[in-house]
Structure 1
């Protein structure tokens, strides 16, 4: 019997397909991901959309912020890297559309709430109403105030703070609105395991490539890996479990 730690595909299988698109999410599912990590921004007309950057330039070539556009406008902008953009059929999806897709496969979502929502909390409140997420889904953010709002509106929702070097790990005990911590793999150290496990909060690590030695015997505080390459991490996990089965 295996006991694999859940693997979340970062912006979908972004190592293989255009990030935060339904194609990337479907690719991740086929590669064996257990869940999807995605980013949520807000449009001018309060639509929650799946896109990482506040501005559109990197994937559309337009020098506009996502908050300056209605969703109808966004649908006219092809997504892609510079030379391939004009041939692309990919468009920015709504959160609702991605949730509908995820529910078809009972695929948990790690929904990262981005900076455009700081000035539009109404969009979060409205978006949370009646939002039926697959089991195992959760909300994450660098912005603690957004997680507090989620918990206030949906006490049943799971939340995770994404930490930076300024984060005070000793304050986790007082942060009852936070259920878990998301951290870069450079924080894979005993002091951080202890800070979380001592207050009953799990850790999910991002920037995982599948080559990390700690994948073979992860700490018990770890509840998830976040990666651009879900197949590579899954294979590393399978290799670990096969070795365990042989030893047994």
Structure 2
């Protein structure tokens, strides 16, 4: 069965990377959640996608330049405020306190391609071990040096490279860095490459799959999983596909 990962939670319908969005992902019937982590100025692991808070909150500034108390004070509902009221940027620890009581899987993307955030890998792995979640976490990044470092620190936690350009025989590359999966942009992966990769024992989880046509295509070829901003739509699409077969 193709697993569905809610991208930044249910980001198409709720404020992305917030507990509100993660709760909706669970309600929708998705198997997994994808979220992004960075470090605040005072070293807290916070869940946010952009390097700055400008787009997703009512605040301004770079995550790396703001203390956690400042970040926490911003309204992260932003464009969804009228619909859902205010909410805040969560820490990874706050997320884990809820997540540990679910049956979900979580893909944590380390956002350290622009700013390196020394110690991010150690802090994230420390929290995963604190909550004993090693079996339910995938660590991914566009910064492949970072996930190799993660593997060296914690070989028991799955790693997966993210990429957005054509990669020749990506299953061989994934194996070479000890990854168990690849996370390609949906724009750069063909059906034959997905099938070939899975045959080689490397899972394929494309991002960001929001059109029903793409969802159906991936479900029909039994792709390992995909990331979507609309988990409810994806779960429905999978159900329809199953009923037809």
TM-score range with shorter-chain normalisation? 0.7 to 0.9
Matches within 5 A, 1:1-150: 4-81=1-78, 84=81, 88-115=85-112, 119-129=116-126, 130-131=129-130, 132-133=132-133, 135-150=135-150
Aligned partners of 2:154 and 2:134: how far apart in 1?
Answer: 15
| Residue 178 of structure 1: aligned partner | 179
CA deviation vs aligned residue, 1:206-246 (integer Å, no higher than 9, x gap) = 22225124145115xx21111111111111111121122xx
CA deviation vs aligned residue, 1:89-110 (integer Å, no higher than 9, x gap) = 3111001111221111121101
Q: CA deviation at 1:80?
A: 3.0
Unaligned runs of 5+ in 1: none
Q: CA deviation at 1:166?
A: 5.7
1:235 paired with 2:232, answer no
1:156 paired with 2:139, answer no
Q: 1:77 to 1:216 in 2, by over 3 A?
A: closer
Task: Find the residue that maps to 2:178 and give its secondary structure.
Answer: coil
CA deviation vs aligned residue, 1:25-49 (integer Å, no higher than 9, x gap) = 0011111111101011111111111
Q: CA deviation at 1:174?
A: 5.6
1:216 touches 1:240 (CA, 8 Å); kept in 2?
A: yes
Unaligned runs of 5+ in 2: none
Aligned partners of 1:155 and 1:163: how far apart in 2?
Answer: 21
Aligned partners of 1:44 and 1:215: how far apart in 2?
Answer: 40
Task: Find the residue that maps to 1:182 and give its secondary structure.
Answer: strand
Q: CA deviation at 1:74?
A: 1.1
Matches within 5 A, 1:158-237: 158-165=158-165, 167-169=167-169, 172=173, 175-193=176-194, 196-197=197-198, 199-209=200-210, 211-212=212-213, 213-219=216-222, 222-237=223-238
Task: Find the residue that maps to 1:98 and give its secondary structure.
Answer: helix
1:215 touches 1:236 (CA, 8 Å); kept in 2?
A: no
Which segments of structure 1 move beyond 4 Å, counting only runs of 4 or more? Answer: none
Aligned partners of 2:51 and 2:45: how far apart in 1?
Answer: 13
Q: 1:154 to 1:242 in 2, by over 3 A?
A: same
Q: How many residues align?
A: 238
Aligned partners of 1:208 and 1:237: how far apart in 2?
Answer: 13
TM-score, reference length from structure 2: 0.87
Q: 1:121 to 1:178 in 2, by over 3 A?
A: farther
Q: 1:23 to 1:153 in 2, by over 3 A?
A: same
